[in-house]
Structure 1
């Protein structure tokens, strides 16, 4: 009997050890990210310090949705991080995400910046602003996106490709506000005003203004902050000032960086805990400071630089509505041959 009791005690101890080991192994979250690791690592480190849950990251410039689809139910990924409403909705439409119903997330993230069905949540916002030459464009000379199509700017505007995600989102927002016919008229007018064939990234547009190739450009606001901190690019930043468009009516177009819970998440509870942490005051402040973006949680202070640029009115059209117009926006860019100049 004593021997049997000893064996039972040992067996129970082994079972407890295995359970404990299993729990330890489960105390992690796996993230597939389009955001570069150095931008989000401080946030994950803070989460691990607070909860003991480790965060593993796989970074890629593209192809993460396709990877999730090919991995299927065996995917180790719990969350997907991305930097545009298009990629967030692409993931949801590919059916590689699942809904999250969290009172914390719903309280912290405004409804305009999360999916109505809970399949994605914004983390920070990025304003699509007009960059204007300090030398050649007087302050107040342009104040709306619509004015970019005014013939007075013929041969004076630079942009990315009309089918780049940032341009697509802006065009989609124009469709949301004005309808397809008016949006197409606007895009046609903008194309007619281009100084060169659409090319390069946002910083390349500021460089082109510095070099006198154009006088106006579209860029995400945080690139201004990045250029200001870069020795070579600071001259590009010095050559421009930022215009937050449409302050007299609907407000400036915003896009998001965001996250979604994967359909196959093996660590769902921990993943949702990370999502909730990232919507907290601490993480929102860290995220905004690290990336020079605007926090989504109300009451979280902006970085000193962003605060120095002043408050602005933001377009509050639901990003779900913008996303629903993306296919038409891409088609429209083809129809007006935006990239063919």
Structure 2
């Protein structure tokens, strides 16, 4: 017990966060408090199980490694397929056998070994200036981002941000390493400025005339529409879904996994099943403007207004396999320099 408490103190976890199996469950989360806390409150209301959350912007995998078998973590919530696969590759999570989860989450969006499960989808879109470009043609694909017609007109955040790494990984999965490198060289040549900022910043740059098109995740548009300080940015762009006449629009995920040494395994399973059910999936859709993973769950009114789109059906497991190759190619073309 002394060793357990010492480990908790070392890692910044207070003793009360070490849950008791009867009534608590511990979560390590990359997801922001405003998004997940309403769902946890609803879960507690329905089950009586208290949810203790440790929020982080980075380093969850490292923390779990340091804690080892004394870790209080039961469930890990994260964004991006690469982070989910990292947890699995480092053997920091355990398989979960649940008919409820399997029924709620399509096979494409869960690990073959049942070690991680997607909770929401977010599409990687291209935003275009309403005034200078208008809506892009239905035939527009990610490959078009490398065409000379967009020279000096494209903005994006760092190529090495997980959202862009996953997009590059998907391109490798479809087109191979050599073709993807050529594509990256073309995209870099078309940049209006050095990659910088976040996805919202790219839309701001379009509004300010620094570029005509920008790469960004769909749900950021929803956030900007509802932010008085950024609403004008959102109103200045059209949202486009690339690949509709090809492989489809690239989608990434937020997801969950059960920690390897989960001390409250039964409660962890209950929480994971709750997060895949209709109530929580609807809350994700309404609060964060993401696409629910469970089929039949209604999208938010704003997201629905963007229209239907065909998602790329390449396996997320396959996308994750090319993560390191994607980073290598980004380095080779000096994308961020």
Say which SS state the counterpart of residue 232 (structure 1) adopts. Answer: coil
Q: For each residue in 1:289-331, what CA deviation from the matched residue of structure 2 results, as whole angstroms up to 9, or x when unmatched?
A: 1111000001111111111111111111110000000000011
Tell me what 2:70 maps to: 74
1:211 aligns with 2:211: no
Aligned position for 2:37: 41
**Structure-2 separation of matches of 1:269 and 1:230:** 39
Match of 2:22 in 1: 26
Match of 2:272 among 265, 272, 275: 275
Q: How many residues align?
A: 318
CA distance in 1, matches of 2:63, 2:241: 37
Indicate the residue corresponding to 1:291 in structure 2.
288
SS at match of 1:339: coil
* 2:21–2:264 CA contact under 8 A, matched in 1: no
SS in 2 for 1:300: coil
Could you tell me which residue of structure 2 aligns to residue 322 of structure 1?
319
Q: CA–CA distance in 1 between the matches of 2:335 and 2:21?
A: 51
Q: How far apart are residue 184 of structure 1 and its match? A: 1.0
Counterpart of 1:96 (choices 92, 98, 102) is 92
Structure 1: 5+ residue stretches without partners = 1-22
Once the two structures are superposed, residues 243-302 of structure 1 have per-residue CA deviations (whole angstroms, 9 ceiling, x without a partner) of: 011111211100001001000100011101111111111111111111110000011111
Counterpart for residue 136 of structure 2: 140
Largest Rg, 1 or 2: 1
TM-score (normalised: structure 1): 0.91
Q: What CA distance in whole angstroms lies between the structure 2 residues aligned with 1:80 and 1:144?
A: 34
Find the aligned partners of 1:124 and 1:283 in 2 and give their Cα distance: 10
- Give the match's secondary structure for 1:312: coil
CA distance in 1, matches of 2:32, 2:91: 24
Deviation at 1:25, TM superposition (A): 5.5
Q: After TM superposition, where is structure 1 displaced by more than 3 Å over at least 4 residues in a row?
A: none
Deviation at 1:24, TM superposition (A): 6.7
In the superposition, the TM-score normalised over structure 2's length comes to 0.92
Distance (whole Å) between structure 2 residues aligned to residue 216 and residue 25 of structure 1: 51
Match of 1:181 among 178, 183, 187: 178
- Taking the TM superposition and a 5 Å limit, the aligned residue runs for 1:218-297 are 218-297=215-294
